[in-house]
Amino acid sequence: MVTVTTRNPADRLTEEQILLRDTVRQLAVERIAPRAAEIDRTSEFPEDIRQLLAQQDVLGLPFPVEFGGVGGDLLTVCLAIEEIAKACATSSLILIVQVLGSLPLTLAGTPEQQARFFPALASGRTLAAFGLTEPEAGSDVAAARTRAVRDGDGYVLNGTKRFITNGSVAGLITVFAVTDPEAPRHRRLSCFAVEVPTPGFRVERLEHKLGIRGSPTAELAFEDVRVPAANRIGAEGDGFSIAMATLDRSRPGVAAQAVGIAQGALDTAVAYARDRRQFNQRIGDFQMVAAMLADMDSQIEAARQLLYTACAEIEAGGPDIGRWSAMCKLVAGDTAMRVTTDAVQVLGGYGYIDEFPVERMMRDAKITQIYEGTQQVQRLVIARALLGRPAS
């Protein structure tokens, strides 16, 4: 397959980042890409890929060196996600969710909590999941109903979480539950590190999905699940702000996934347009096809550059990180959907069947417009940054 090379200016990526990206790219090309179609077809969680990512320290990327991690910054993590997603969106989600599920601990965990949980997460022995969404609380996070009631030296959790990525394979779930129903909307939730399996915890079912099929999306039931108070992350009532801060830092990962999916689709479309001949010429030499490819390439590069800038802005910790994070996911997710759809079009009938990966990529791309905040929520976040919250 032909790969369109991206020449990164040295002032943007460090030597380590380039080497790291190239290493993950080699892993993705040699070890992950050959598995991608099968993972999609069987809808089975790719345990072999998880072990590969663990063994090569990819899952350790977001964790500090002192806890056995690699200490990669946000951009470095996103470079790795992008390279994996180019080959297999499902596999990239293993890293994305390792970041997402552990971010509450990174942002609000005590040093003791980090020392307890990070080594197993950094080594990849334990996978993390992020337990926020509920059947009735999607975009409206504060509407969560799962309860956590104080009981002696711990809490008792009851409720249901839905659409929890890796919920069935995780060993540590950061769960958001209502500790004070009477408090103002944004002070009702608290965050808990729930180690599973544990009595009262059940995986109710796994969803059948349009894309990212090898990534288990679980409905989780909590029935009188006891959690020690030492596992509460942050203070009581901090849950909502922890969740929002988490999403601000995790959305670039989804943007990176989207950029990767789009690039993978473009690479396939370009290779096809070079090889496929109709009417005695390469189909890429037809202007209508050429223009599609040029647009796809330009849009991907625009999304990628916005993502890299957003990573730098978020890493610098400016006041505006919600806007950067929302913008990069919005642009990248829409780009992925458009580019993969066009890639299917370039391949015509071959694009619509599973002989080529673009139909899978098109199905996988859709989720990047939905999870970690729909594109509509992203626009809301950006608009609020511009306009301020509406007066209530």
Partner 1 sequence: MHIVVLTKPVPDPAAAAERLGPDHRLDRAASPAVVNANDEYALEAALKLVEASGGEITLLTMAPAGGADTMRKALAMGATRGIQVTDPVLAGSDVRSTAAVLAAALGELTFDLVLAGADTSDGGGGVVPAGIAALLRLPYLSNAARIEPDAGSGRVKVRRITPTGYDVLEAPMPALIVCTQALGEPRYPSLKGIMAARSKEIAARALADLGSDPSGLGGAASTTTVLETRRPPARGATTVVRGTPGEGAAAIVNFLATRRII
Q: Which residues does the annotation mark as catalytic? A: 372
Binding residues for partner 1 restricted to 73-102, rule: CB under 8 A: 80
Nearer Cβ to partner 1, position 79 or 137? 79
Sign for the CA dihedral angle at 130, 132, 138, 142 comes to: negative
351 binds partner 1 (CB under 8 A): no
56 binds partner 1 (CB under 8 A): yes
16 binds partner 1 (CB under 8 A): yes
72 binds partner 1 (CB under 8 A): yes
- Find the binder of partner 1 among 20, 75, 88, 96 (CB under 8 A): 20
Task: Compute the 3-state secondary structure of the chain and give helix, strand, coil in percent, each to the nearest 5.
Answer: 55, 15, 30
We find the least distance from the C-beta atom of residue 302 to partner 1, in angstroms, to be 25
Nearer Cβ to partner 1, position 16 or 295? 16
15 binds partner 1 (CB under 8 A): yes
Q: How many CB atoms lie within 10 A of CB 187?
A: 18
124 binds partner 1 (CB under 8 A): no
Write phi, then psi, for 141 (nearest 5 degrees).
Answer: -60, -40
Nearer Cβ to partner 1, position 71 or 237? 71
How close are the terminal C-alpha atoms of the chain, in Å?
55
106 binds partner 1 (CB under 8 A): no
Q: Which stretch binds partner 1 (CB under 8 A): 38-46, 63-71, 112-120, 347-355?
A: 63-71
- Find the binder of partner 1 among 32, 39, 61, 332 (CB under 8 A): 61
60 binds partner 1 (CB under 8 A): yes
We find the least distance from the C-beta atom of residue 64 to partner 1, in angstroms, to be 12
Q: How far is CA 87 from CA 30, 37, 90, 277, 310, in A?
A: 10, 10, 9, 26, 23
We find the least distance from the C-beta atom of residue 204 to partner 1, in angstroms, to be 36
Write phi, then psi, for 351 (nearest 5 degrees).
Answer: -75, -20
Whole-number Å distance between alpha carbons of 175 and 144: 11
List of residues 6+ apart from 179 with CB closer than 8 A: 148, 149, 150, 155, 188, 189, 190, 236, 237, 239
1 binds partner 1 (CB under 8 A): no
Q: How many CB atoms lie within 10 A of CB 322?
A: 20
192 closest CA partner among 145, 151, 239: 239
Q: Which two tokens stand for residue 159?
A: 């409720």
66 binds partner 1 (CB under 8 A): no
Beta bridge partners of 148: 157
Q: 340, 362 in Cβ contact below 8 A?
A: yes
DSSP 68: T
Nearer Cβ to partner 1, position 24 or 343? 24
Q: Which stretch binds partner 1 (CB under 8 A): 19-27, 135-143, 243-251, 296-304?
A: 19-27
- Find the binder of partner 1 among 1, 6, 12, 19 (CB under 8 A): 19
Residues binding partner 1 (CB under 8 A): 15-16, 19-20, 22-24, 26-27, 55-58, 60-61, 65, 70-72, 80
